[in-house]
Copies of this chain bind each other. A is one copy, B any other.
Amino acid sequence: MDLHGGNIYKIFREKDMDKILDYSSNINPFGLPESLKKAISENMEILEKYPDPDYYDLRKTIAEYNGTEIDNVLAGNGATELIFLYMKAVKPKKALILSPTFAEYERGIKSAAPQCETVYFHLEEADDFIPDMKKLKAELKKGYDLVVLCNPNNPTGKFLSKEKILELLSECDKYDTRLFVDEAFIEFAEGGIKSSPAGENANKKNLFIIRALTKFFALPGLRLGYALFFDSSLKEIFDSLKEPWSVNAFAELAGKTLFSDTDYIEKTEGWIKEEKRYMFNELGKIKNIKVYKTETNFILLKMYKKNAAFVRAEMLKKGILVRDASNFTYLDETFIRLAVKDRENNNIVIKKLNEVINGDNENE
């Protein structure tokens, strides 16, 4: 498996590298919150019990954080479990995926409903990958039971406001089409979770949102995701399909700890606001590339003179792993994706990227 284009373990095994700057994986550079380290150290003994199979306290905390009710919350072993579970529950027959985007939605559909007709809605390079709402609405008339989008979108970094999502949702309602929105990166967007439609007063029956603590709280190793759903008829289906105890006790603890860690949250919000702008501006000075403006913590680049496999290989020689984005639907070998991290490392990556793309002496 090479799910990120960045299986660093495989690279370690094959290249015997001691250390690598991983810009293929979009994790908060502040790292694991101290509040969670403390909570884990002080609560090791929770491992000695099975987690609450209802995840009652965890779901309550998540509901409060999102201004919604416990019955709207489902906890999962990372967002991944919830993608697969949702697809099993709704078993779509005809699904529209706004693409390019994260490949797991399609994998989830294929695994749950192999007969499903999967159609890509093309987010055009010419439109800077921003969805054309008029075209999208026209497409919906063709009759889908499911529309899938990622917001902010991986790998493009583009973000639809909650007004746009609600407009789309109301259009979906006309055809009884479900709307699946992956908000794994929403905390990095301006306004954070307040810019999600989750807490809005609207008819949200067809809306299904997934979130993860992975990126924002820097804990991809812990595996905690959750879903917000508003169609109560799904609850029974989820209960019948869900494997018990899929969320481990420390992930449960993380959920109960981190939403109230306002220091970490505010520190991160300040950093990303500043750093995504800085990185966009600095990358913009490099010749022979196009930088797509991002509203989250990664940046998509198009390169005019070098291809992605070459750049990835050359950057790796310099100890940096970038995401070759050529295997995203509708992207090609001219695209790579970079994480936004801390200033010091961002500067190193920008400098090395310029060397790889334009030779050592240009642009300096």
Decide if A80 touches B243 in the complex (CB within 8 Å): yes
- Considering the chains assembled together, what is the distance between the CA atoms of A209 and B52 in angstroms? 27
Which chain B residues border A250 with CB–CB below 8 Å?
221-222, 248, 250
Within 8 A of B (CB), among A31-51: 31-32, 37, 40-41, 44-51
The segment from A6-14, A118-126, A150-158, A306-314 found at the interface with B is: A6-14
- Considering the chains assembled together, what is the distance between the CA atoms of A94 and B239 in angstroms? 25
Which chain B residues border A46 with CB–CB below 8 Å?
221
Cβ of A77 under 8 Å from chain B: yes
Interface flags, A93-104, vs B, CB<8A=1, else 0: 000000000001
- Considering the chains assembled together, what is the distance between the CA atoms of A25 and B47 in angstroms? 13
Which chain B residues border A44 with CB–CB below 8 Å?
32, 37, 40
Which chain B residues border A240 with CB–CB below 8 Å?
111
Decide if B243 touches A4 in the complex (CB within 8 Å): no
Which chain B residues border A84 with CB–CB below 8 Å?
243
Decide if A54 touches B246 in the complex (CB within 8 Å): no
| Residue from the list B10, B22, B80, B251 in contact with A54, Cβ < 8 A | B10
Decide if B47 touches A220 in the complex (CB within 8 Å): yes
| Residue from the list B3, B47, B53, B248 in contact with A1, Cβ < 8 A | B53
- Considering the chains assembled together, what is the distance between the CA atoms of A158 and B25 in angstroms? 48
- Considering the chains assembled together, what is the distance between the CA atoms of A120 and B74 in angstroms? 34
Q: Which residue of B lies closest to A244 (CB)?
A: B3
Within 8 A of B (CB), among A184-239: 218-223, 239
Sample (17) of A-B pairs whose CB atoms are under 8 Å apart? A1-B53, A1-B239, A3-B53, A4-B50, A9-B52, A9-B53, A25-B50, A27-B49, A32-B47, A46-B221, A48-B218, A51-B221, A77-B248, A80-B243, A104-B244, A221-B250, A248-B248
7 new A-B pairs (CB below 8 Å) besides A1-B244, A222-B250, A223-B248?
A7-B54, A13-B56, A32-B45, A77-B246, A80-B243, A80-B246, A248-B250
